[in-house]
Protein backbone atom coordinates (compact mmCIF):
# COMPACT_ATOMS: atom_id res chain seq x y z
CA UNK A 1 0.00 0.00 0.00
CA UNK A 2 1.53 3.29 -1.12
CA UNK A 3 1.62 6.11 1.44
CA UNK A 4 -0.20 9.31 0.51
CA UNK A 5 0.85 12.89 1.20
CA UNK A 6 -0.95 16.21 1.33
CA UNK A 7 1.09 19.11 -0.02
CA UNK A 8 0.94 22.87 -0.37
CA UNK A 9 2.55 24.66 -3.29
CA UNK A 10 3.50 28.33 -3.35
CA UNK A 11 2.56 29.70 -6.79
CA UNK A 12 4.30 32.56 -8.61
CA UNK A 13 1.45 34.92 -7.63
CA UNK A 14 2.04 33.98 -3.94
CA UNK A 15 -1.18 31.95 -3.74
CA UNK A 16 -1.20 28.48 -2.19
CA UNK A 17 -2.39 25.29 -3.87
CA UNK A 18 -3.25 22.16 -1.89
CA UNK A 19 -3.24 18.64 -3.32
CA UNK A 20 -2.65 14.96 -2.58
CA UNK A 21 -0.27 12.48 -4.15
CA UNK A 22 1.74 9.32 -3.59
CA UNK A 23 4.85 10.87 -5.21
CA UNK A 24 5.57 14.51 -4.33
CA UNK A 25 8.58 14.97 -6.61
CA UNK A 26 6.72 13.59 -9.65
CA UNK A 27 3.70 15.73 -8.88
CA UNK A 28 5.82 18.88 -8.52
CA UNK A 29 7.40 18.17 -11.93
CA UNK A 30 3.91 17.74 -13.41
CA UNK A 31 2.73 21.04 -11.95
CA UNK A 32 5.79 22.92 -13.22
CA UNK A 33 5.42 21.18 -16.59
CA UNK A 34 1.95 22.68 -16.98
CA UNK A 35 0.06 19.40 -16.64
CA UNK A 36 -0.47 19.30 -12.87
CA UNK A 37 -3.71 21.22 -12.52
CA UNK A 38 -5.64 23.98 -14.23
CA UNK A 39 -5.08 26.27 -11.22
CA UNK A 40 -1.29 26.03 -11.18
CA UNK A 41 -0.92 26.07 -14.99
CA UNK A 42 -1.39 29.84 -15.09
CA UNK A 43 0.69 30.49 -11.95
CA UNK A 44 4.04 28.91 -12.83
CA UNK A 45 6.54 28.25 -11.50
CA UNK A 46 5.38 26.66 -8.27
CA UNK A 47 7.49 25.62 -5.25
CA UNK A 48 6.79 22.96 -2.68
CA UNK A 49 5.90 24.86 0.49
CA UNK A 50 4.82 22.05 2.83
CA UNK A 51 4.04 18.35 2.81
CA UNK A 52 2.51 16.00 5.35
CA UNK A 53 3.94 12.79 6.63
CA UNK A 54 2.76 9.45 5.31
CA UNK A 55 -1.01 9.02 5.43
CA UNK A 56 -3.57 6.53 4.23
CA UNK A 57 -5.49 7.56 1.12
CA UNK A 58 -8.57 8.32 3.21
CA UNK A 59 -6.60 10.39 5.74
CA UNK A 60 -4.90 12.34 2.93
CA UNK A 61 -8.15 13.28 1.20
CA UNK A 62 -9.76 14.28 4.51
CA UNK A 63 -6.75 16.47 5.38
CA UNK A 64 -6.74 18.02 1.89
CA UNK A 65 -10.44 18.88 2.25
CA UNK A 66 -9.84 20.39 5.70
CA UNK A 67 -6.91 22.50 4.51
CA UNK A 68 -8.71 23.72 1.38
CA UNK A 69 -11.47 25.15 3.57
CA UNK A 70 -9.00 27.33 5.52
CA UNK A 71 -8.08 30.91 4.72
CA UNK A 72 -4.60 31.58 3.35
CA UNK A 73 -3.60 33.15 6.66
CA UNK A 74 -4.63 30.01 8.54
CA UNK A 75 -2.78 27.77 6.07
CA UNK A 76 0.38 29.82 6.59
CA UNK A 77 -0.01 29.64 10.39
CA UNK A 78 -0.52 25.90 10.42
CA UNK A 79 2.57 25.31 8.33
CA UNK A 80 4.61 27.65 10.57
CA UNK A 81 3.28 25.98 13.72
CA UNK A 82 4.12 22.50 12.45
CA UNK A 83 7.61 23.66 11.55
CA UNK A 84 7.44 21.56 8.43
CA UNK A 85 8.39 23.93 5.63
CA UNK A 86 9.96 22.08 2.75
CA UNK A 87 12.00 23.31 -0.18
CA UNK A 88 11.72 22.24 -3.77
CA UNK A 89 14.25 19.70 -5.02
CA UNK A 90 17.37 21.59 -6.09
CA UNK A 91 16.79 24.60 -3.85
CA UNK A 92 19.53 25.52 -1.41
CA UNK A 93 18.90 24.14 2.04
Q: Which residues is 10 bridged to in the sheet?
A: 16, 47
- pTM as predicted: 0.83
Topology adopted by domain 5-82: GIY-YIG endonuclease (3.40.1440)
pLDDT of amino acid 89: 41
- 14-61: pLDDT as tens digits: 999 999 999 999 999 999 999 989 999 999 999 999 999 999 999 999
DSSP string for residues in 9-77? EE-TTS-EEEEEES-HHHHHHHHHTT-S-HHHHTS-S-EEEEE---B-HHHHHHHHHHHHTS-HHHHHH
Amino acid sequence: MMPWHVYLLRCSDNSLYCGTTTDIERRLLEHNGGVGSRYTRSRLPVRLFWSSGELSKSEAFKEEYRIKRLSKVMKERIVDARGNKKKSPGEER
